[in-house]
Structure 1
Amino acid sequence: MTATQQEAQRTAPAPKPLGYRAIDVDNHYYEPIDSFTRYLPKEFSRRGVQMYQDGKRTWAVMGGRVNTFIPNPTFDPIIEPGCLDLLFRGEIPEGVDPASLMKVDRISDHPEYRNRDARVKILDKQNLETVFMLPTFACGVEEALKHDVEATMVSVHAFNLWLDEDWGFNRPDHRILAAPIISLADPDKAVEEAEFVLSRGAKVVCVRPAPVPGVVKPRSLGDPVHDPVWARLAEAGVPVVFHLSDSGYMAIPALWGGKDTFEGFGKRDPLDMVVMDDRAIHDSIASMIVHQVFTRHPTLKVASIENGSYFVYRLIKRLKKSANNAPYHYKEDPVEQLRNNVWIAPYYEDDVKLLADTIGVDKILFGSDWPHGEGLADPTSFTADIPQFPEFSHEDTRKVMRDNALTLVGTHVSA
């Protein structure tokens, strides 16, 4: 056993035993290289996502340009789940090179990353009843295609066809709720896509936390032109997931001399992340609240997943200030709308007690980010980062690990 492994064993907190199966709102697949092309109309083959083979290397080409959001779109080799845990906790033992924590495996040895039946067997071993199944590669596509709205909408539809075929938006067993993507770039087509995925049984949808691309100029997520989509999702009781994506915010570090492209892996200037950090989710939730989406659609539910929770405190401070400065604008308390309409899945290293004191324990979700390297190797070990009794009761822990997700999606699963 290496020194790093020994240190990890000494410092890793023990998870709490559960008398029930948990619901993990942050699980991922690794898309095959045809996830965007299997159902893409031929006339869009050069405008959408292409895979280019250069010797042994495969590159993703989007909108005619090589895209490095995922440097290796074959995902082979693939990083081991949870191997970067110490890095994200800030607990790397002295003298250990952070790069040495990176462990990889052949994707062919892990059918559960791409096969639904194999994944369900893993869920049984992990004591998980249901998971939200979310994109990996697809989180970078909308930004790459934002200058071609038509290609964006066609590509997203093709992806959703693949997703339902391989994973299922909502099969009768409710074990996996695969979240289709809704792009708002074309408001009319967005309504059509929402109707399509709802007709296929979708119980949760992904919307990119970013300004909405437009032919003339970008739009706010709160622009009333998007109301038909929000209204339809609110009516169906289907929540919107804002998951960490390429939101176009690399333009901010570029102003400071940094990179202007989002890269999932690789060494970069630390300032890039310091100045960008969680701005996209902060601004996305702000746009929904300040531009009155929840006032017009009070039953719409939104969940922030894999964006951490520290943006919440800055957002509350700014919403309060905005309400004080422009009371004529707000028909309802914007902070209360945040607490009523938004659920948060914190990073496992976040202060869960502080978040509960701020927005209420009923709005906190458990997400492991499995099988990503920056997530948890054992999903339910998330309980080790939840405060112990009496700060958190057993009932509060169950809310975070299971019941709040049920409230969010309104889906019956067995106890």
Structure 2
Amino acid sequence: MNELGYLSIDVDNHYYESLDAFTRHLPKEFRQRGVRMLRDGKHTVAVMGERVNRFIPNPTFDPIIEPGCLDLMFRGQIPDGVDPASLMKVEELGLRPEYQNRDARIKVLENQELESIFMFPTFGCGVEEALKKDIPATMASLHAFNLWLDEDWGFDRPDHRIYTAPMISLADPEAALAEVDFVLGRGAKLVHMRPAPVPGTSKPRSLGHPSHDPVWARLAEAGVPVAFHLGDSGYLQIAAMWGGKENFEGFGTTDPFDKVVVDDRAIHDTIASLIVHGVFVRHPKLRVASIENGSEWVHRLIKRLHKLANQYPKSFADNPVDELKEHVWIAPYYEEDVKHLANTIGTDRILFGSDWPHGEGLEDPTSYVKDLAGLSSDAEIRKVMRENALDLLGVSVHSAR
């Protein structure tokens, strides 16, 4: 056993999708409308929505960035005179089978002293935005992806080592409910939704729109939480209003002003829509988590909710701040002030997520504990590193580890 005395549960891990993740099970009628992988000279490009999509500029993931190599950049600690681009280090995908193979990944978990991980897409986090103008293709593509995900990784296996989150789009409410039933029937223990307005045929909808209540009801009844993981939420359209670029491009040229304008607005607005539009009032057993969206938005949202509840008391059946603290779990970035977050929402709702094996994450996942030094006790640290993840899943006893 490690120096903590227990194995941790990392709620933010990733796989690198195979090229056929969205096509292996896609019906023929959608093969020209969904995700297509095409050769462009020596390179492979993804075509979605009838245009080349550069959310992930290299969908083969070969070569791939080394885990944690951008740590100093994301901590804002690049030494003077060091070119940020020099921090980028890559390796051959074939050297890391654990990125695409479940059995190999479990062996890595043993070395990392992790009991379990929640796993999210890499390429897949940009698909719904790219296909949002074609809702049938969106729903068919995500269903095909979920078939691939269960086939290659499994939503949940008897060893409970890896929990993969199937992707759910609410764009077609009836198809969304059918997809939820499908993944629950396959044993999914959590689902993944994009933190963004819901695409619609005429106009976007709030997550709190009544048409989505059957999905929320089914998930609440099943005790299966919703994870809102960082992805392409379409919010660069706001940056475009200021003259910035409209489409996200991974590792492309970044205008810092875009970061200022967009930042964490998508998750802020997503959680606000659930609270202000009454989702937790109508579905009091629903649990959600914010993964890889940071935590600074929490303080702004609480301030705004408190003010709104005072200004428009008839619009809130319950105290909206209490709703957030009861229903929402948060995985802060490791470089943030976790003690400040604990003082704001309580330690019971904070999760440990390393973003492994992404370059902006941690090379050693459990080194996250070093950034929890501000917490007052080992018991609080254990909650963040393990127990709160079990509470989110609704599991009281996980294993003998």
Question: How high is the TM-score relative to the length of structure 1?
Answer: 0.95
Once the 2 structures are TM-superposed, how far is the Cα of residue 67 of structure 1 from its aligned partner?
Answer: 0.3
Once the 2 structures are TM-superposed, how far is the Cα of residue 64 of structure 1 from its aligned partner?
Answer: 1.0
What is aligned with 2:166? 180
Structure 2 residue 85 is matched with structure 1 residue 99: yes
1:392 and 1:240 mapped to 2: Cα distance? 29
Once the 2 structures are TM-superposed, how far is the Cα of residue 205 of structure 1 from its aligned partner?
Answer: 0.3
What is aligned with 1:396? 380
Structure 2 residue 393 is matched with structure 1 residue 409: yes
CA contact (8 A) 1:46 1:63 kept: no
Once the 2 structures are TM-superposed, how far is the Cα of residue 17 of structure 1 from its aligned partner?
Answer: 3.1
> 1:39-73, CA deviations, whole angstroms, 9 ceiling, x for partnerless residues?
00011000000001012111100021100100111
What is aligned with 1:277? 263
- Tell me the amino acid that sits aligned with residue 87 of structure 2: L
What is aligned with 1:13? none
Unpaired runs of 5+ residues, structure 2, are none
2:161 and 2:6 mapped to 1: Cα distance? 14
- Tell me the amino acid that sits aligned with residue 72 of structure 1: N
CA contact (8 A) 1:323 1:333 kept: yes
CA contact (8 A) 1:386 1:392 kept: no
CA contact (8 A) 1:369 1:376 kept: yes
Question: How high is the TM-score relative to the length of structure 2?
Answer: 0.98
Q: How does 1:14-413 map to 2 (within 5 A)?
A: 17-388=3-374, 391-411=375-395, 412-413=397-398
2:201 and 2:367 mapped to 1: Cα distance? 46
Give the secondary structure class of the aligned counterpart of 1:161: helix
> 1:136-165, CA deviations, whole angstroms, 9 ceiling, x for partnerless residues?
000000000000000000000000000000
CA contact (8 A) 1:28 1:133 kept: yes
2:33 and 2:17 mapped to 1: Cα distance? 19
- Tell me the amino acid that sits aligned with residue 52 of structure 1: L
Give the secondary structure class of the aligned counterpart of 2:314: coil
1:303 and 1:114 mapped to 2: Cα distance? 25
- Tell me the amino acid that sits aligned with residue 69 of structure 1: F
CA contact (8 A) 1:376 1:382 kept: yes
Unpaired runs of 5+ residues, structure 1, are 1-15
1:266 and 1:186 mapped to 2: Cα distance? 32
CA contact (8 A) 1:131 1:176 kept: yes
> 1:227-246, CA deviations, whole angstroms, 9 ceiling, x for partnerless residues?
00000000111000000010
Give the secondary structure class of the aligned counterpart of 1:23: strand
Identity of aligned residues (%): 70
- Tell me the amino acid that sits aligned with residue 110 of structure 2: D
Once the 2 structures are TM-superposed, how far is the Cα of residue 266 of structure 1 from its aligned partner?
Answer: 2.2
CA contact (8 A) 1:163 1:169 kept: yes
Once the 2 structures are TM-superposed, how far is the Cα of residue 413 of structure 1 from its aligned partner?
Answer: 2.1
Which 10-residue stretch deviates more, 87-96 or 114-123?
Answer: 87-96
Once the 2 structures are TM-superposed, how far is the Cα of residue 368 of structure 1 from its aligned partner?
Answer: 0.2
Give aligned pairs, total: 398
Q: CA RMSD in A?
A: 0.9
Once the 2 structures are TM-superposed, how far is the Cα of residue 410 of structure 1 from its aligned partner?
Answer: 2.1
What is aligned with 1:12? none
